[in-house]
C-alpha cells in the first residue's frame, strides 16, 4: 500500500510516544491522520508538540461507542481519502506483583490494564475494519486490498518480568488476537500485524528510575540502548508498504530477551 494523500489513517495514543511518532511519519507521507487520545493528553500538548497535518480527537479507546463515533467522524472529515490504516498504540503499564508486600494483586488494576491494552485495541480494530470493509479495494482488479491494521504487543508478551502480570497478559492477548484477526479479516482484504517493542524511550518509561533505564539499555544486545519511537514508526511504515506481510508479530528489541527482573 502506498502512503500518500489519497488515504487516511487513525492512530491511537497519538498525543505522545509511539503513537505521536507514527502519526508524524504518516502525516509526513501526506496521509490524512486522526490521532485518538484522552482529552487530558491532547489538552496538555503545546502547539509546538502538535504534528502539522494531524487532527487530534478525544477518544477513550475503552468505550466502544466513543471509538465508533471517532472513526465515523474521521471518515466524514476525510471523505475523499478513505480510511486505509489503523495503528493501535494506546496503552498503560502499571506494575504490581501477583502477591506483594501489601497483599494480592488488585483485581481492579488487572482489569483496567486489560481494558485499555486489549479491549481498547479490539474496539479500534473492529470499528476501523468495519469502515474499511465498506470501501472499494485500493487495487481494482488486483489483490482486493482494503486496509491495514497494526496492533502493539510487547516483548513482555513472551518474557514478562516480575510485576508485569497484568501488562504481560494484555500484550500476550494482543499477540494472539492479531493472527486470529488477520484470518477473520482476510476475506475483506484487510491485513493485520502486530509490533512487539522492547524497551523504548517513551513517556511510559519515565515511570521508572534512571538507574533502571540504564540497566535495561545495557542488557539490549545491539544496539545497546533504548529504542526510539521513530524506529517503531519506521517499522509500521514497512508493514503498511509490504502487501504480503500479514498475521505476524514482529519483535523490535535489539535482540533483547528480558530477564526475570
Number of residues assigned to the chain: 261
Separation CA 132–CA 150 (nearest Å): 14
244 catalytic, yes or no? no
Tell me the C-alpha distance between 223 and 19, whole Å: 23
The answer to whether residues 9 and 32 touch, using CB atoms and an 8 Å cutoff, is: yes
C-alpha to C-alpha distance for 130 and 187, rounded to whole angstroms: 13
Q: Which residue has the cell 509511539?
A: 18
Distance CA(146)–CA(215), nearest Å, equals 43
Burial class (CB within 10 angstroms; exposed 0-12, middle 13-18, buried 19+) of 64: middle
Is residue 97 exposed (0-12), middle (13-18) or buried (19+ Cβ within 10 Å)?
middle
Q: Which residues make Cβ contacts (< 8 Å) with residue 207, sequence separation at least 6?
A: 93
Residue 230 CA to residue 240 CA, distance in Å, equals 15
Active-site annotation holder among 56, 167, 232, 244: 167
Cβ neighbours around 23 below 10 Å, total: 32
Residue 254 to residue 205: CA distance in whole angstroms: 17
C-beta of residue 135 within 8 angstroms of C-beta of residue 83: yes
The catalytic site residues sit at: 167
Amino acid at each position: 500500500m502506498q502512503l500518500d494523500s489519497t488515504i487516511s489513517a487513525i492512530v491511537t495514543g497519538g498525543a505522545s510516544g509511539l503513537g505521536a511518532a507514527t502519526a508524524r511519519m504518516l502525516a509526513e507521507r501526506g496521509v490524512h491522520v486522526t490521532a485518538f487520545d484522552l482529552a487530558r493528553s491532547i489538552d496538555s500538548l503545546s502547539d509546538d508538540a502538535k504534528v502539522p497535518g494531524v487532527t487530534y480527537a478525544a477518544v477513550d479507546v475503552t468505550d466502544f461507542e466513543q471509538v465508533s463515533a471517532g472513526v465515523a467522524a474521521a471518515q466524514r472529515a476525510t471523505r475523499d481519502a478513505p480510511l486505509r490504516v489503523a495503528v493501535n498504540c494506546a496503552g498503560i503499564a502499571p506494575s504490581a506483583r501477583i502477591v506483594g508486600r501489601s497483599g494480592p494483586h488488585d483485581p481492579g488494576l488487572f482489569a483496567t490494564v486489560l481494558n485499555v491494552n486489549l479491549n481498547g485495541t479490539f474496539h479500534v480494530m473492529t470499528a476501523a475494519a468495519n469502515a474499511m470493509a465498506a470501501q472499494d479495494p485500493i487495487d481494482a482488479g488486483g489483490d482486493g486490498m482494503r486496509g491495514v491494521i497494526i496492533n502493539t504487543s510487547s516483548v513482555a508478551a513472551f518474557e514478562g518480568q516480575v510485576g508485569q502480570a497484568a501488562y504481560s497478559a494484555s500484550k500476550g492477548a494482543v499477540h494472539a488476537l492479531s493472527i486470529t484477526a488477520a484470518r477473520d479479516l482476510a476475506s475483506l482484504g484487510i491485513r493485520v500485524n502486530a509490533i512487539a517493542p522492547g524497551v523504548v524511550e517513551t513517556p511510559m518509561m519515565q515511570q521508572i528510575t534512571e538507574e533502571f533505564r540504564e540497566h535495561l539499555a545495557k542488557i539490549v544486545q545491539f544496539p545497546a540502548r533504548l529504542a526510539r519511537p521513530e524506529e517503531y514508526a519506521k517499522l509500521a511504515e514497512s508493514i503498511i508498504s509490504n502487501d504480503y506481510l500479514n498475521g505476524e508479530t514482529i519483535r523490535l528489541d535489539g535482540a533483547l530477551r528480558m530477564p526475570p527482573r
